[in-house]
Amino acid sequence: MPQMNKGGKFVFGKSLIRADGTLRIPPQAMEEYHIADEGKVYLFTGSKITGGFCVTRKGLLHPSKLGHILDDTPPLLDYSAGSGEFIKYKGRSYCWVEISQEGQILLTKKMMDFLKVRPGMELLSIRSSDIAFTMGAKGPLLEKAENYDGEIPLF
């Protein structure tokens, strides 16, 4: 896994948003976060600087200090909100989607419009915390990745 500069963020790779909206999570991120274990993941809006979205699952989010997000939004907690339907909560928006055992998720056109991403984009998979990782769409970290001498795998 590349670390683009000393003390900098670790990246797992890049994920291409395919024409049909599918996106594959890098295998190393899948392993580290056991992200496909529950068959569903939560996506939530990324930072203003990096954009894109963050990815987590109930088993990581609910027992954490951020578990109140799910407690305060029962349609997310029990997956009764429609898949890919964003719910606003304290400045960010959250949804859930299914994830395959191979780490593939589907971003609908409506979701992509909401997240300001599109087919053909390469999102940078960044280790963020022990709760979630980021699929970044813009900003200094992506520029740094573009100029990185080593190899960043594309999935």
Which structure tokens are listed for 67? 């578990």
Task: Write the CB contacts of 115 (distance below 8 Å, at least 6 apart in sequence).
Answer: 43, 45, 51, 52, 53, 107, 137
141 vs 131 pLDDT, higher one: 131
How far apart CA 154 and CA 3 sit, in angstroms, is 16
Looking at the chain, the whole-number percentage of residues with pLDDT higher than 90 is 85
Write out pLDDT tens, residues 20-60: 999 999 999 999 999 999 999 999 999 999 999 999 999 99
Cβ distance 118 to 10 under 8 Å? no
In this predicted structure, what is the pLDDT of residue 9? Answer: 76
**pTM for this one?**
0.93
In this predicted structure, what is the pLDDT of residue 8? Answer: 64
